[in-house]
């Protein structure tokens, strides 16, 4: 039924998933001081360097995904990024009330994004 639209749908999916990460990576450049201080407070060694690595993964991985180049590798890299970012920034176990709920929502969103990346990996095979 949708066979004729599959390439356009695949591109739209890659654009939405990858574009979100390109946007987030660019936004994180502007938020470096805040993000570095959060990471440093959590005991992350070389927080500034690790933050730049994450930004590069977000922007390059997202762009590769959009372009449909090395899609499985880009998706895998973004899954790895999500695992680290989720543990670092969505620590719901350290919070109560509304803040805890917000962090749990972040975890759920990252799990859903991981599902999207797994689908992108499967579609690229």
Tokens linked to 79? 């899954």
pLDDT in tens, 80-125: 999 999 988 887 777 788 888 888 888 899 999 999 999 999 988 7
pLDDT of residue 1: 62
Q: Can you give the pTM of this predicted structure?
A: 0.90
Residue 89, CB-side half-sphere exposure with 13 Å CA sphere: 19
The proportion of the chain whose per-residue pLDDT surpasses 90, expressed as a percent, equals 71
The pLDDT of 59-84, averaged and rounded, is 96
Q: What is the DSSP string of 28-76?
A: HHHTHHHHHHHHHHTT-TTHHHHHHHHHHHHHHHHHHHHHTSSHHHHHH
pLDDT band at 53 (very low <50, low <70, confident <90, very high): very high
The pLDDT of 16-38, averaged and rounded, is 96
Residue 10 has pLDDT above 80, yes or no: yes
């Amino acid at each position: 039924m949708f066979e004729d639209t599959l390439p356009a749908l695949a591109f739209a999916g890659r654009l939405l998933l990858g574009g979100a990460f390109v946007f987030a990576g660019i936004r994180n450049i502007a938020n470096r001081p805040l993000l570095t201080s959060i990471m440093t407070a959590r005991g992350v060694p070389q927080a500034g360097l690790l933050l730049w690595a994450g930004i590069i993964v977000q922007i390059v991985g997202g762009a590769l995904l959009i372009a449909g180049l090395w899609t499985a590798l880009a998706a895998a890299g973004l899954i790895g990024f999500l695992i680290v970012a989720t543990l670092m920034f969505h620590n719901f176990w350290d919070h109560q009330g509304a803040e805890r709920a917000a962090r749990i929502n972040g975890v759920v969103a990252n799990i859903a994004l991981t599902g999207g990346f797994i689908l992108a990996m499967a579609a690229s095979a």
